[in-house]
Structure formats: C-alpha cells, structure tokens
Amino acid sequence: MKARVHGLTDVGRRRENNQDQLLVDEQRDVYAIADGMGGHAAGEVASSIAIQALAETIKDASEEEANQFLVDAFQEGNRRICESVLARGEWRGMGTTIVALVRRDDRVIIGHVGDSRSYVLRDGALVQLTDDHSWVAEQVRMGLLTNEEAHKHPMRNIVTRAMGNRVELEVDVSEQPIQPGDVFLLCSDGLNSMLGDEQISEILSCHQADPVEACRALIDAANEHGGDDNITVIVLATANSD
C-alpha cells in the first residue's frame, strides 16, 4: 500500500528553544516524535538521545518483529538518558516523551510513552490512538475531569510516564489495520494543546491529499492559537482504494 508522508517541527511563538525532535525514515517506514523536558538544554539532549536510539535500533531490526523492536528501542533510549543524567549533574530531571509509528504492509504499529499523540483520520472522523500518560488524562479516564476541564487545567503539563524518569520503563504498543485512505498523524502536545480535535480533523480533511500542506497548515493554526509550546507533526496519508 502506497503512502505519502511528511514531518515538520516549529519552535512556536513563546519558547526560545525547540526541544522536540522527529524521525522520518521512509526507507524503513518508521516515524517518531520526541518531546524533551528539562532545563539547561537538557530537554533537547533527552529527545535527541531517544530519537538516535530509535534510529540505530531500526537498522538491526527484522521486518517481522516491529512490536518488540519498538519496545527495545525505547528501553535503549531510556537507558542512555538515565546514564547521561548520572554522568552530568545539570541534566538531572531531563526526560522525554516519544511516540513512534512503524508501517508494515497493511498495518501500523504504534508505541508511545508520555503525552505525544497519534491519531487517525478515518472515513472523515478523527480518532486518538494513544492514551496520554499525563495526570489530567488519568483524571479524565477515572471520570474526575471532563476533556474540557483537562484542556485548561493548570496541571495539564504533568507527564506521568517519560523516558529518563526511572530505569524501568513501561511502553504502550498497539496495532492498527490500515484502511485505504487512512491519514495518520503523530504530534507533540504543542499541537493538541492549542487545537481541539475538531480543528485538527478539519485541517487534516482539507489537506489529506498533501501531507506537506497538512503539516504546514497544522503548525500555522497552532501558532495562530498562541503557539505556547514547540509544535511537531508527522502526517502519513495512505492511498485510497480507487
């Protein structure tokens, strides 16, 4: 099944540095976004290590074992970040989210840690494929906050799972069959904190034939709504059946 893909990152309107990193490897059909956190440029270090570990692990992975290689790549990234923290005191507290998508024939495998997200636009409806590992998302899942309350909550930036926080890393991996015309989106929270699902859905629908345009439009819209954080998006549009 053919697909067109594009990725784009932007510092946003309020931050001086971009701590997001992305990987677009069309040859191996692996795509990822990492959103780093930590002062003294440590956030950039953490997200770079995570993406680097993924890129290196891909090279040795066989075609069949995509699920396991994502877990292995995330564990490797986590191990390297923890080691770097031990080596340099000023990097203490650094960490990163990661969301990765691997395409294999007629399915995608998605792995994530933290609050970077994956969505699919399918038959005109936007569906979130990842559950945020964040404090507000946990409150929503327990029925203690509504989505609207979570969106504005002062603790909305608290991530409950990230690479670099502890030696043991729990990774969520899921699989999705691809339906013709599916448009997959990966993003850092700089997108979905500025735009609601409806706005994201509208932009993706409008530009689903052109991932380059879709990425540009998503980032422009997030910036128009404030651009409070770094914004990174990857759009993968699969071909229609006809």
The residue ranges that bind Ca ion (CB under 5 A) are 35, 188-190, 229
> Closer to Ca ion at the Cβ: 43 or 211?
43
**Cα–Cα dist 108/17, whole Å:** 32
Q: Residue 165 forms beta bridges with which residues? A: none
Q: Least distance from C-beta 11 to Ca ion, angstroms?
A: 11
Q: Residue 30 forms beta bridges with which residues? A: 25, 102
**Cα–Cα dist 19/138, whole Å:** 25
40 to 1, 93, 228: CA distances (angstroms): 44, 11, 19
51 to 8, 56, 177, 203: CA distances (angstroms): 15, 9, 25, 27
Per-residue DSSP letter, 91: G
123: alpha, beta or left? (left if phi > 0; alpha if psi -120 to 50) = left
Q: Least distance from C-beta 54 to Ca ion, angstroms?
A: 18
> Closer to Ca ion at the Cβ: 132 or 189?
189
> Closer to Ca ion at the Cβ: 14 or 107?
14
> Closer to Ca ion at the Cβ: 28 or 151?
151
**Cα–Cα dist 219/12, whole Å:** 8
Q: Least distance from C-beta 35 to Ca ion, angstroms?
A: 4
> Closer to Ca ion at the Cβ: 10 or 35?
35
In one letter, which amino acid is 145?
L
Q: Least distance from C-beta 15 to Ca ion, angstroms?
A: 9
Q: Least distance from C-beta 189 to Ca ion, angstroms?
A: 5
